[in-house]
């Protein structure tokens, strides 16, 4: 079963006299429990695809099914609810809140879900241990290395036990050794059943995924699979 599916998805941006077809009739499904890497040159449609997958943007036309529900025309508040409950995000720039400790950064999605403090703290501690940061709970982002900050971001993405993790260049700001450690962590999460879709420019990082989707000019150019 597909966890997400695009049916003839188009995204057109009006920029001056010429419309830009960021996505041009994309049809593709991502199976539940799979691990994908989206690749392609700048302007190929990678970021637009990720924004629509993450319910951060809507397609101009076509249908986007998440867990077999068409979410392409939902209202903003409904999309926000889906992002919170079903999708975990990992960003290249970590997107941690500098004033908050590791524990509080991990707890943040749970705060918006209305979890009580005790339950949230227990979940944050469990996830910090999962990513090897159980001794850093009271540290702030400025006191962490880049790899540690990305581990916090991974833990935060798992807070609500999401069906899908979207990772946008998750190793882009890390050295190669630390990047490999993050990829080992994501690979382990995928083995546990989490679906992962990742954007990357790096072939060695993409090699960790089961499938590599190559985009060009808003279209699917080809798919390579292990």
Question: Domain limits of the chain?
Answer: 2-225
Angle formed by the axes of helices 117-130 and 146-157, nearest 10°: 130
CA distance 224 to 204: 14
pTM: 0.93
CA distance 61 to 59: 5
CA distance 169 to 171: 6
Q: What percent of the chain has pLDDT over 90?
A: 90
Q: For residue range 112-159, what is the model confidence (pLDDT) as tens digits?
A: 999 999 999 999 999 999 999 999 999 999 999 999 999 999 999 999
CA distance 46 to 51: 9
Give backbone dihedrals phi and psi of 27, rounded to 5 degrees, phi first: -120, 115
**pLDDT at residue 186 in the model:** 95
Residues 6+ apart with CB under 8 A from 63: 6, 7, 8, 9, 70, 72
CA distance 111 to 143: 23
Q: For residue range 11-52, what is the model confidence (pLDDT) as tens digits?
A: 999 877 788 899 999 999 999 999 999 999 998 999 999 999
Q: Which of 137, 209, 135, 130 lies closest to 171, judged by CA? A: 209
Residues in the chain: 226
**What is the dihedral sign for C-alpha 155, 157, 159, 161?**
negative
Domain 2-225 sits in CATH at 3.40.50.300
**pLDDT at residue 100 in the model:** 96
Encoded tokens for 55: 């319910």
Band (pLDDT 50/70/90 cuts) for residue 54 is very high
């Amino acid at each position: 079963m597909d966890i997400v599916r695009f049916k003839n998805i188009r995204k057109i941006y009006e920029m001056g006299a010429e419309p830009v077809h960021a996505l041009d009739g994309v049809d593709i499904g991502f199976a539940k429990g799979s691990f994908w890497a989206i690749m392609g040159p700048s302007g190929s449609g990678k970021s637009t695809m990720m924004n629509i997958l993450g319910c951060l943007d809507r397609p101009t036309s076509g249908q986007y099914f998440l867990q077999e529900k068409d979410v392409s025309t939902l209202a903003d508040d409904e999309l926000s609810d889906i992002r919170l409950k079903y999708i975990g995000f990992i960003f290249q720039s970590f997107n941690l809140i500098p004033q908050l400790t590791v524990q509080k950064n991990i707890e943040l999605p749970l705060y918006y879900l209305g979890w009580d403090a005790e339950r949230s703290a227990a979940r944050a501690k469990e996830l910090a241990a999962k990513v090897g940061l159980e001794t850093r709970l009271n540290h702030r982002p400025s006191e962490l290395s880049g790899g540690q900050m990305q581990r916090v971001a991974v833990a935060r993405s798992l807070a609500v036990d999401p069906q899908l993790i979207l990772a946008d260049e998750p190793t882009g700001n890390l050295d190669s050794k630390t990047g490999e450690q993050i990829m080992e962590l994501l690979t382990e999460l995928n083995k546990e059943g989490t679906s992962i879709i990742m954007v990357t420019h790096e072939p060695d990082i993409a090699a960790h995924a089961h499938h590599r989707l190559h985009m060009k000019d808003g279209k699917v150019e080809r798919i390579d699979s292990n």
